[in-house]
Amino acid sequence: MASLAIALVVFSIVFPMVSGLIFIAVKREHKKVKNIIYVGQTLISLIAMAALLLYVGEGFSFDVVFLAFNVTPLLCLVALAIVAANFLVMFFNVGHGYSGSIQYDIFMCILLSSLIGGVFASDLITNYIFLDLTLFSAGYLIFSIKDGVRAAYKFTFMNFLASMLILFSIILFSSYTGGFAIQPLASVHGFERLVLFGLMIGLLTKVGAVPFHLWVSSAYSESAVPVAAILAGAANCVGLLMLYKIMPIMQLNDFLMVIGIVTALYASIVSVNQHTFRKRFAYFSIAETGFIIYAFSVGSPAAVMGGFILLITQIFVKPLLFLFAGLVTEEHGLLKKVHNFAMFGLVTGSFSIAGIPITGGFLGKYLILYSAYLAKDYLSIVLMLIASFFLLVSFLKSYGKVSALKQESEPHFATLVSIFLLAAIVILIGLIPLATGWIWTL
């Protein structure tokens, strides 16, 4: 049984990368063929991840050459969410009709492989390799369209500096511990602090936390719609997962709690004055990142579970919002306010970001606020509630703008179905723990 589970993990990492070679034989103008390959590839990966969740048992670890992996039911659930979201993004693209170069197609496949590898990576060097492969692929994909060149330069520059800082810290860490296994340092004095701050600043840059968020708005708003959807959701998730995994090394939880609160509050306030949907949703994404960082920094079981619920929810919410923005501003220009599926997506995604029942965002934020209450961190509770209020105000401005639009063309059914399914999943994440009574056992 364990060998079958290991085979499923390796297959899920390798398969998208290998299948990307098929695009070499497909000409750029064959959009329908490329869409079939994309949807088929992500569907096969989705089945593999669903099967892995059934066979994982209590979890296991294994090595492939020098790469170390750890597979648990929770990580399998995260990987399943990533593949499911990617499948719906690719299905959206059937109607959206965006088609890039052969290199674009290959790097989209590499991106999916690196995302799954990053979820299961267990030691520092394996996490670093897959996180950098994820962001390297994303950087090329941002470069792939003419309007994204400026954003790609900013993205590449900041992430390159972050990568060098993380790599330097990992080298120092291995010199102290004799390996790359994640463990606390025996002492944290003087030079050893460079390891902690190097890892922390590098990862905070890669996940776009304030004040290291300068690349986020342009990267999310100027890249192709499928790229923005995956980068904001799944790729950001892999970076936050690595941050969670190295918490035993950091020993800087109080500082990270402050970063989380500042990120959520700042991004929520700034989102109100954004003039385009995609820039506003970019700041929604930054705010959600702040809530998750705070949750992981608190470290209590309820807070960590709230952080993971938000993490899984954002894998669907962020594509939902960016696909909606692509539907309105890029594919059809303007959208009639009575288009129920699209408006359902906007309302559900924004409600989740603001923490409104009955969404996954509400459940995650409830657990985080409850944990802050138990820790008597009343100031953080007030600041998080203020952040949620501004996010709700920002949504109302978006809703008012959409309501004033006129319809210029009829959206493709595939785009609307993708948005509807993403929204339905976000609601299910909020309802299932309540309906089953699981949430009351924490």
One-character DSSP codes across 298-327: H--HHHHHHHHHHHHHHHHHHHHHHHHHHI
Query: In this model, does residue 95 exceed pLDDT 70?
Result: no
Which pTM value belongs to this model?
0.91
Any domain includes 370: yes
With respect to residue 107, please indicate whether it lies within any of the assigned structural domains.
Answer: no
pLDDT band at 410 (very low <50, low <70, confident <90, very high): low
- Which residues have C-beta within 8 Å of that of residue 37, sequence separation ≥ 6? 19, 22, 23, 26
CA distance 410 to 416: 10
Which residues make beta-bridge pairs with 71?
A: 60
- Residue 317 falls inside a structural domain: yes
Q: What's the CA gap between 379 and 373, in Å, rounded? A: 10
Mean pLDDT, the chain, whole residue set: 83
Residue 277 included in any domain: yes
Q: What is the per-residue pLDDT for 358?
A: 86
Which range has the worst mean pLDDT, 32-41, 59-68, 211-220, 331-340?
331-340
Helix (H, G, I), strand (E, B) or coil at 64: strand
- Give the rounded percent of residues in the chain with a pLDDT score beyond 90: 18
Region 162-169: mean pLDDT is 90
| Domains of the chain: total | 1
Asked whether residue 260 is domain-assigned, the answer is yes
- The pLDDT score that the predictor gives to residue 134 is 85
Range(s) of the domain holding residue 367: 252-442
pLDDT at 344: 83
More confident: 359 or 94 = 359
How far from each other are the two terminal CA atoms of the chain, in whole angstroms?
30
In a domain, 363, yes or no: yes
Q: How far are the Cα atoms of 155, 368, 385, 434 from residue 376, in angstroms, in the given order?
A: 38, 12, 15, 25
Question: What does the pLDDT average to over 102-127?
Answer: 87
User: In this predicted model, what pLDDT tens digit does every residue of 246-278 receive, in sequence order?
Assistant: 888 877 778 889 999 999 999 999 988 888 888
Give the tens place of pLDDT for each residue, 302-347.
Answer: 889 999 999 999 999 999 988 888 777 644 444 554 466 778 888 8
pLDDT at residue 191, as a whole number: 66
Residue 111 has pLDDT above 50, yes or no: yes
Judge contact between 143 and 103, C-beta under 8 A: no
Q: Provide CB contacts within 8 A for 151, sequence distance 6+.
A: 142, 215, 218, 219, 221, 222, 223
Question: Quick check: is 26 in a domain?
Answer: no
With respect to residue 219, please indicate whether it lies within any of the assigned structural domains. Answer: no
One-letter identity of residue 151:
A
pLDDT confidence band for 81 (50 / 70 / 90): very high
